[in-house]
Structure 1
């Protein structure tokens, strides 16, 4: 029973992080109207969550290396609950609501990145690859479900009551962690020299993988932002049906992540193959959008492109998580989480500027995918013979 419950408990962590912003998008107009905010406040409502999370993620990783993953995840969830309660009982006070959103962001810092580190600690070999793939599946499910949940709640309850979703999920995770993960009694000493040694020895592997993953999430959320804008303003489709249109590209990403994680196992060579195929599959459709940009072409090419991203992410997760020992894993994985989250935060901002000229926007997006391919070529040449399968599965 414990073995069956643990994947679900860990999988709820990335869903909680995704809900933090994506669920709010459909109810932003309600929040603005009730709190008497202008349109410019929409960005602040979202960034008040993303900025604290991006800043705190590396510190959460360091502290989890010292005090244990379970303890830091639990503290993060209680902070998430506190922030959510402030948002629920804001009393129309803007500053109280924004403080609550900031605390939610701080709490979110201990979700997805520490979930990856925890999987690296608890699982080995094939099970580790499968679980990291499943983590991206849960992440994808959260991306698909979040706008639908937000749009549905907007029709059923007042916007502030929708924030009860966060305490409920957080409490479910806390109870699950208590029954599935053993508490760590000892406190590890932080070793700064060890972190430096990791980057000296593994930097040629880790840094390009960080950037490839960050660019992938930057393009994902930036293009989804543009898709939302395009569907609503060009075709006047909003609410539930607009959220439904995201199912196709995000569904493709979720399915390919599950397929990749299930087959990756302990074969490092297969991982490099999947990473290469994912990069090419993501790049070509975005290049074709420069010439074919109707709504049908957009949906078709994005579905293929995000399917390629789904192949990439489980491989990157496995390589980063397995390349370091348990003592440094929290910091290394959390730095990757911070890069990913920065991509999530910056994507909508950049594509909000570029959307004025869609052709130029697609050229820029295609250029980022070519940069990722160049980074992969660098990895293939510079890390050949350095990264052994054993180093990915024995720790």
Structure 2
């Protein structure tokens, strides 16, 4: 029973992180109206969550190496609960609401990255690859469901009451972890010399993987931001059908992540093959968008491209967690989480500027995918003669 419950409990951690911003997008107008904010505050409402999370994520990894994954996840969830309560009982004060959002971001720092590190500690071989793939599946499910959850709750209750979702999910995770995971031990204190030693020995592998993963999330959230704007203003699609249109590209990413995680197992060479195929599959359709702009073409090419991203993310997760020892895993994985979250935070900002000229935006986007392919080519050359990754 515990073995069946554990994947679900760990999978709720990335969902909790995704809900932190994606759930709010449909209810931002209600928040602005009730708190008497201008539309320019929408970005601050989102960034007040993402910026603290990106800054705190590396420290949660280092502390989890020292004091244990389970303990740090628990502390993070209690901070998330506290921040959510401040958002619920904000009393119409923007300062109290923004403080709550900041605490939510600090709490979110101990979700997805520590979930990856915990899986690396608890599982080996095929099970580790499968579980890391399932994390991206839960992540994708969260991305699809979050806007629908936010829009539905806004119809049923006041917007501030929708923040009860976070304490409820947090309590479920806390109870689930208590039932399924023994208290994880802490390791030696990681000093600066040990930190630099890891990247001297593994940096040629880790840094390109960080950049590829972060760039993938940057493009994902930037394109989703643009798509939300584009299909409403150009094709006049709004409401439920607008939310439904996101299911196709995000669904393709989720399915491909599940398929990749299930098949990857312990075959490192297969992982490199999937990574190559995923990067090419992501790049080519985005290049074709330079020449085709109809709604059908847009949705078709984005669905294929996001499917390619779904192939790459489980491989990167597996390679990063398997490239270092248990004592260093929290730090290394959390740094990757910070890079990913930085991409999530910067994507909408950049595409908000680039969307004024869609043709140029597609060229820039295609350029980022070519950069990832170039990084993969460099990795392929460098990895020859180096030790295998223990996946």
* TM-score grouping bracket, smaller chain normalisation: over 0.9
Q: 1:174 to 1:286 in 2, by over 3 A?
A: same
The question of whether the paired residues in 1 share the 8 Å contact of 2:126 and 2:265 is answered with yes
Structure 1 segments of 4+ aligned residues over 3 angstroms from their partners: 184-188
SS at match of 2:266: coil
Deviations 1:268-318 (A, max 9, x none): 000000000000000000000000011110000000000000000000000
Q: Distance in 1 between matches of 2:209 and 2:5?
A: 31
Aligned pairs, how many?
391
SS at match of 1:188: coil
Q: CA deviation at 1:190?
A: 2.5
Q: CA deviation at 1:125?
A: 0.3
Deviations 1:333-378 (A, max 9, x none): 0000000000000000000000011010000000000000000000
Q: Distance in 2 between matches of 1:44 and 1:383?
A: 42
Q: CA deviation at 1:185?
A: 5.2
Q: 1:2 to 1:103 in 2, by over 3 A?
A: same
The question of whether the paired residues in 2 share the 8 Å contact of 1:152 and 1:240 is answered with no
The question of whether the paired residues in 1 share the 8 Å contact of 2:289 and 2:362 is answered with yes
Q: CA deviation at 1:198?
A: 1.1
Q: Distance in 1 between matches of 2:180 and 2:191?
A: 29
The question of whether the paired residues in 2 share the 8 Å contact of 1:136 and 1:313 is answered with yes
Q: In the TM superposition, what are the counterparts of 1:283-294 in structure 2 within 5 Å?
A: 283-294=283-294
In structure 2, runs of 5+ residues without a counterpart are none
Q: CA deviation at 1:246?
A: 0.5
- Aligned partner of 1:42 in structure 2 is 42
Q: CA deviation at 1:191?
A: 3.5
Q: CA deviation at 1:387?
A: 3.9
The question of whether the paired residues in 1 share the 8 Å contact of 2:187 and 2:327 is answered with no
TM-score, structure 1 as length reference: 0.98
The question of whether the paired residues in 2 share the 8 Å contact of 1:279 and 1:309 is answered with yes
SS at match of 2:234: helix
SS at match of 2:255: helix
Deviations 1:94-115 (A, max 9, x none): 0000000000000000000000
Q: CA deviation at 1:151?
A: 0.9
Deviations 1:244-284 (A, max 9, x none): 11000000000000000000000000000000000000000
Deviations 1:65-115 (A, max 9, x none): 000000000000000000000000001000000000000000000000000
SS at match of 1:235: coil
The question of whether the paired residues in 2 share the 8 Å contact of 1:67 and 1:188 is answered with no
Q: Distance in 1 between matches of 2:99 and 2:241?
A: 32
The question of whether the paired residues in 2 share the 8 Å contact of 1:147 and 1:243 is answered with yes
Q: CA deviation at 1:242?
A: 1.2
